[in-house]
Structure 1
Amino acid sequence: MESSKLGWCEINLGNLRHNLRELKRIIPVDTKIVPVVKADAYGHGAVEVTQVLLEEGVESFGVFSVEEGIRLREAGISVPILILGPSLHEEVDSVADHDLTPGIFTMEMAQLLSKTAMAKEKKIKVHIKVNTGMWRIGVWVDEAVQFVKEVLELKNLEVEGIFSHLATAYSLDKSYAYEQFRLFCKVIEELNQDGIYIPLRHIASSAAILDLPEMNLDMVRPGISLYGLYPSKMVKRRVELWPVMEFKTRVVYLERVPKGSSVSYGRSFIASKDIIVAVLPVGYAHGYMRTLSNKSEVLIVGRRAKIIGTICMDYSLVDVTDIEEVKINDEVVLFGRQLNERIEVDELADLCGTISYEIVCSVGNRVPRVYIE
């Protein structure tokens, strides 16, 4: 696909549709699917992604913050939006005004939401976050039952859901995930014994959807899997996922570098022979990580070529000595497919010592998204 940009990401909405349909295939029909579109849909563009998923029958979404929820509301997204992260005290008016559903875990926030809802003569739905061992946010399991009871006493709040998050669902050893699930179910059972039934119980994100189907409960929260990436190499390939994002640029300059010359900052690469170098107008400020310097490869005319020297803020250099047909303006794939060759996001993640999530989320708004079906 042609683009007038120096660097761009192609977002394949057809692949996004495919991934949702694949996940639906293994999720019980009576389990609610709430796609997670936080962090601008993991770098894919939250507004565009939600619009496509709505066409596919999705009825609600999950985001991290109130700010992310408001952005979707301003884009015309009217279905329920669950705030998975913390809400600030100064954001309670926005929660009510934009009909957002906050996750709550402190009585102070619950009381503030209740007060605000009464003043506005509205009812605010909430989901209660339970800490089962992740130790980020959430009311601790031993205190969760009493917390729920106290929240139920507050006016103009509706406890629609209760949820937790698994720390090791993507690992081979899932014993800790099973312990977290046991603790979560214990809270639910104690509530049920007291006659309290919360409609939406949820703990499963992508890894648990794929590997731990018994944890689907009333609702699941697929994130990375929607975007065509598996949570880790350890999870089962129960569905066929197609990557949604491809990161591309072009050759803007070709130069002959004589033997013994160094390229880029720090002289980390010195040519052992005369070489031809292609200059790419993409660097770490675009999200192509500096830790890939002298490690990664790119695709040019369907062939792999090595990144040489230190990746700069705005430039990367590639040795194309063995690819005679390279021309200025040729498309270059940083990750994605070109002809019969492919560079996977996981390949770059391994080289960086990180995970696929970070690779796609790091491609910032300096890089325009081009949407294709």
Structure 2
Amino acid sequence: MRSLNRVTISRSALEHNYGVCRQLAGDAAIMPLVKADGYGHGQVDCARIFAEQGAAAFGVAEVVEGVRMRQAGITQPILVLAGTVPQALAPLVEADLTPVLVDPFLVPELSRLAGKLGKIVEVHIKLDAGMGRQGMLPEEFATTVRAVQQAEHLRLAGVMAHFPMADDRQSSNSADVLRTFVDTTGQLRQLIPGKCCLHLANSGGLFYVAGARLDMVRPGIALYGYYPDGRAGRATAEPPFLRPAMRFATQVLQVRQVPAEKGLGYSHLHVTARPATIAVLPVGYDDGYLRSLSNRASVLINGKRAPVVGRVSMNLTLVDVTGLGAVRPGDEVVLLGRQGEEEITADEIAAWMDTISYEVLCLFGNLNDRELVA
């Protein structure tokens, strides 16, 4: 028996979105980000699909994610983007993962473990070129490069940084970050012989920042069908358009006729102004459908929008289906995605939640039964 709440992920949409990113990337390699369980879309399934499309590497946040992918048979390089700790170095080396060093602290122990296992570990260095969150400042860069260069069992394979404002096309920040990154990594020509992969562009960098492709790009949200600047990006996009890959649906649990001036749910946050037909849905904040959607969201029933009324609770949500025709228990209700000619996107839900599409997708995808479909 399965839950009434069902998330489906479209393989064809994921393949299409990879193709859009491939076209924009030009000659640059593509490293899909599959951290956070593939932004809620299923880390291993997404990695397999993107590998079939030619992905050069994958990005995860933690060592445990990379180990899981190796156990699933993923053979491409897997970069652990958020850094790591001494306790996680042994499984990292054993699984042939690629650590991203945020400072030189781990270099000696990482090299020792690599030597003990008879391996040469490729590493990438994270430069803080303006993100202000993690990595080393430009003035610390050369010291860390030399530390890696002098480590017997390590090899510097790449340098990365991150854009903090690439989703804001009007900001000059991205040009500044790109300039800092290019100027700082220019020191590599004197420090390191041979090829070193330079990568900076996330989805925003790929779509909106000229000159940011470099050797490799790291799309995340775009692969799952959403523009980094949300509804503004979708409104101004040119074909080929990204296609949302996730759909979240449930079923009507009960249909009730209630009189005017009837308080509904916790705190009676909604009081009916007229006699109303109310559908009860078996979904709530336990499923990622947050309380902030109370009296704000809409769902699709019979191809039409029905407003959420009253407080979203842990496992139940009420919607007003007055005037929408016959609605019965078991009827499909779409919370995210298309039904008929209508569509509710993660960007729209994000606006109701006062957040971004990334969080919506992670919540829905990670908290509900999920199935990969064509």
Is the TM-score greater than 0.5?
yes
Partner of 2:90: 93
Amino acid at match of 1:200: C
**Does structure 2 conserve the Cα–Cα contact (< 8 Å) formed by 1:210 and 1:237?**
no
Alignment coverage as a number of residue pairs: 370
Where 1:318 maps in the other structure, the secondary structure is strand
Partner of 1:324: 325
The 5 A counterparts of 1:239-254 are 239-254=240-255
Partner of 1:342: 343
Where 2:211 maps in the other structure, the secondary structure is helix
Partner of 1:39: 36
**Does structure 1 conserve the Cα–Cα contact (< 8 Å) formed by 2:175 and 2:209?**
no
1:217-236 Cα shifts (integer Å, max 9, x gaps): 00000100000000014556
CA distance in 1, matches of 2:140, 2:347: 40
CA distance in 2, matches of 1:314, 1:166: 38
Percent identity for Structure 1 against Structure 2: 36
Partner of 2:214: 217
> More displaced, 33-42 or 131-140?
131-140
State the Cα distance separating 1:27 from its structure 2 match: 1.3
Partner of 1:52: 49
Partner of 1:275: 276
The 5 A counterparts of 1:127-142 are 127-142=124-139
CA distance in 1, matches of 2:226, 2:54: 22
CA distance in 2, matches of 1:173, 1:268: 40
State which of 13, 22, 25 in structure 2 corresponds to 1:24. 22
State the Cα distance separating 1:149 from its structure 2 match: 1.5
The runs of 5 or more residues in structure 1 that have no matched partner are none
Partner of 1:166: 163
**Does structure 2 conserve the Cα–Cα contact (< 8 Å) formed by 1:297 and 1:334?**
yes
Partner of 1:84: 81
Amino acid at match of 1:303: K
Amino acid at match of 1:302: G
CA distance in 1, matches of 2:195, 2:351: 41
CA distance in 2, matches of 1:192, 1:111: 24
Where 1:371 maps in the other structure, the secondary structure is strand
State the Cα distance separating 1:106 from its structure 2 match: 2.0
State the Cα distance separating 1:25 from its structure 2 match: 1.3
Partner of 1:150: 147
Q: CA RMSD in A?
A: 1.5
With the length of structure 2 as denominator, give the TM-score of the two structures.
0.96
Partner of 1:9: 7
Partner of 1:109: 106
1:228 aligns with 2:229: no
Partner of 1:203: 200
Amino acid at match of 1:161: G
Q: 1:54 to 1:195 in 2, by over 3 A?
A: closer
State the Cα distance separating 1:196 from its structure 2 match: 4.4
CA distance in 1, matches of 2:171, 2:196: 27
**Does structure 2 conserve the Cα–Cα contact (< 8 Å) formed by 1:191 and 1:197?**
no
